Amino acid sequence: MGLLLLRFVVALAVVFQAMAALRTASIELATVCVLTGIVGVLLFFGLWTPIAGTLLAILATSYAFLHRADPWGCIFLGSLGAALALLGPGAWSIDAYLFGWKRVELPDRKS
């Protein structure tokens, strides 16, 4: 349930930031904003979450360098995208429906 909430909050923040930045963006920034919005929609539905999280981290970092007015918000969203890429989509996602929910069982340590 926590991953679902995290995915929804990050996706909504990314989409709203992309829409707000798209209003005043130049051609280079408009391309980054559109790609970021698409990544936000993918994260919202939990589709290709590791790929979308990695793309969000890359796009947010590049946007932080291109748009120097507010880099910390981009860095924050980029780090959340990297965290989602590492954590995965969770049980309630399209990825889990299409590819199955993978669970990693670690063996016991023997000293």
Residue 107 lies in a domain: no
Total number of domains in the chain: 1
Residue 106 in any domain: the answer is no
Q: Within a domain: residue 75?
A: yes
Residue 36 pLDDT more than 80? yes
Tell me if 91 sits within 8 A of 101, measured CB to CB: yes
Q: In this structure, is residue 101 part of a structural domain?
A: no
Determine the Cα–Cα distance for residues 40 and 107; give it in Å rounded to an integer: 36
Is residue 20 one of the residues assigned to a domain? yes
Residue 111: pLDDT band (50, 70, 90) is low
Residue 80 has a pLDDT of: 92
Domain holding 29, by residue range, is 2-96
103 assigned to some structural domain: no
Count of Cβ atoms closer than 10 Å to residue 24 Cβ = 10
89-108 burial: b if 16+ Cβ within 10 Å, else e = bbeebebbeeeeeeeeeeee
* 41 is a domain residue: yes
Residue 104 falls within a domain, yes or no?
A: no
Choose the weakest-confidence range: 1-10, 38-47, 53-62, 87-96: 87-96
pLDDT digits (tens, 9 = 90+) for 49-106: 899 999 999 988 887 887 777 788 888 988 999 999 988 888 778 777 777 766 778 8
